[in-house]
Amino acid sequence: MKPCVTPLSFSTGMAAALLITGCATDNSQRPHAAAVAGPPGTVPTDMFCEAGTNEISIPVGNIFAEGEQVRDFYSGRMARVQDGQVTLKPADDAEGLVLLEPADDSIGQFKWAGATVYFAVTDRFANGRTDNDLNYGRERDGKDEIGTFHGGDFAGLTQKLDYLSQLGVNAVWITPPFEQMHGWVGGGDRGDFRHYGYHGYYALDFTVPDANFGTREEFRTLVEEAHKRDIRVVMDVVMNHPGYSTLQDMQTFGFGSLYEGFAKHLPDQWGQWQPESWENNHAYHAFIDYDHSDWRQWWGKDWVRAGIADYDTPPNASIDAQRGSLAFLPDFKTESEQTVDLPLFLKNKTSSRAEAMADATVRDYLVTWLTSWVRDFGVDGFRVDTAKHVEPEAWNELKQQAQQALNDYRAANPDAALPAEEFWMVAEVFPHSVRRSGYFDAGFDAVINFDLQEEANAGAKCLPAMESVYQDYASRMHGETPFNVMSYISSHDTNLFSRIAGGDPVLQKRAAAALLLTPGAVQIFYGDETGRPFGATGSDPHQGTRSDMNWADLEQPETANILGHWQALGQFRDRHPAVGAGAHKLISQQPYTFSRTHGDDRIIVAFARK
């Protein structure tokens, strides 16, 4: 069967399964609404509570000693413990929060278990160099630019590292930096926009950076400058699939074939083809002979399952998750023990750093390519895409080789600022929640938690509604066998909190507490802290979550106020790993007060209500 490409824009654990009946997407695995059932005395999840600004008495339990001086980090005000409590007035802009810490300026040591990870889609975050905005024959579409490259790059990320530091971020997750397919595929179910690999998940060559993102030296500078600010770099990686074939790449690299005589219907540069008025952007497939033997010059049947020419046809991903195809992307044979040669198009690609390896499997090549970024640049961790669609043995091997690569980098760069000694890996496994699963035995240090997005909606309305969530998360993660998760309120393939909140600035501000006080690691999606609005989306509902970062809005007082609140909470979390990594204890229902402790690090959070 000829492939019918309806990419969901990212290949994720939530991506469509390959449906042999034609173009369709499987929506059966969309996030569910998580119930938030609170203990007696907590606020109903649909109720908004007004934050107080009057002086309140806060019980401290056994966290701070009698007579000890403490400070509200938000306001800077001091108080001394008397009769087991302190009396303080929340700062006017604090949304009722008091963030208590010891007054001696003690700061805890970073723990991945309490990390604050900032997720930036490189192309949409910050444009540091406009001269690299379009490469490889790529073009703007002159319309809504839904799936085109927008210009964000490594240089832009580097310029914004101080901004991330002020936000209390201690790790930045960047989308895959690899060279992407040069051309485009039809975007969305209706093929109503050109969809390039701006997000990094449609790799063509895993060994070099995409020219739109920047150079190797610019990537090196990004990592080094992040490390100088004690920010770790977590690189998104994909071992499940490469990118699609496109007309432009077929012409550039000489793989695949058109039907005889059909070239006359294409422009001189195939990637500039435009559909007729009655066609959509999927229609170019009619020109391509997917049964032609010249497809051996692409990845080849020993490398991928693609259902074309003599390639194996992948099964339905809902039946065989590890060998199935996601969104019709070619599926790497990572489980195969067969030795393979370097694909022909990579052999002939002069800009590639890929070299033939003796007695190497597909997995060997991919692990070598991915860990080279650690060995060459000192990357601190991987966010692993579509983890459930690759066998666990591959992830264990990747983790071991990545740790060795980090060790090698440290040995070769003894004077470099290196915050991480242990390589960190977090898995995307939809719809994983806060539980210890087999992924923690497959090399992963954490798994993304998909539940908080719904739960935090209630917390933004009234923070006490989070108590049952906080208690549940902490008790699970600090059980007999501790583990970690990374929670979020916005994501590239679910929704933006600003959209969930209907653009309400109060909810966008208050969401900071709901997220940043959550036990475990947390992920800030770029613009959570500024109310970044949903963008143009076409027939793919996820595209709008990747709108350009709204830097200009920071000049507006309302947005600056939201950002300032996120910065205060983020810095408090960064100073005190106990916030994310510590044990949680409810001290009082009124005022809502809880503590977090981890070793010598101890804090108390109180929320004042009118």
- Which residues are known catalytic residues? 385, 428
d(CA 475, CA 455): 17
For the chain, helix, strand, coil in percent to 5 are 30, 15, 55
- SS3 string, 337-389, reads CCCCCCCHHHHCCCCCCCCCCCCCCHHHHHHHHHHHHHHHHCCCEEEECCHHH
DSSP string spanning 47-85?
A: ---PBP-S-EEEE-TTTS-TT-EEEETTT--EEE-BTTE
d(CA 371, CA 361): 16
CA 401 to chain centre: 22
Please name the amino acid found at residue 312: D
d(CA 328, CA 416): 43
* Cβ atoms of residues 530 and 536 within 8 Å: no
DSSP string spanning 245-259?
A: --HHHHHHHT-S-BP
The tokens for 113 are: 């278990």
DSSP string spanning 166-219?
A: HTT--EEEE---EEEPSS-EEETTTT-EEE--TTS-SEEEEEEE-TTT--HHHH
d(CA 422, CA 257): 47
Please name the amino acid found at residue 386: T
d(CA 318, CA 312): 17
Q: Which helix (H) or strand (E) element contains residue 448?
A: strand 446-449
The SS3 call for residue 400 is helix
Strands 56-59 and 85-88, by their bridges, are antiparallel
DSSP string spanning 501-562?
A: TTT-HHHHHHHHHHHHTSSSEEEEETTGGGTPPP---TT-TTGGGGPPP-GGGGGSHHHHHH
- Show Cβ contacts of residue 70 under 8 Å, excluding neighbours closer than 6 positions: 60, 64, 78, 79, 80, 81, 86, 100, 101, 102, 103, 604
Sign of the Cα torsion 494, 281, 210, 307 reads positive
Torsion of CA 140, 198, 499, 592, to 10 degrees: -150
d(CA 287, CA 295): 15
The SS3 call for residue 308 is coil
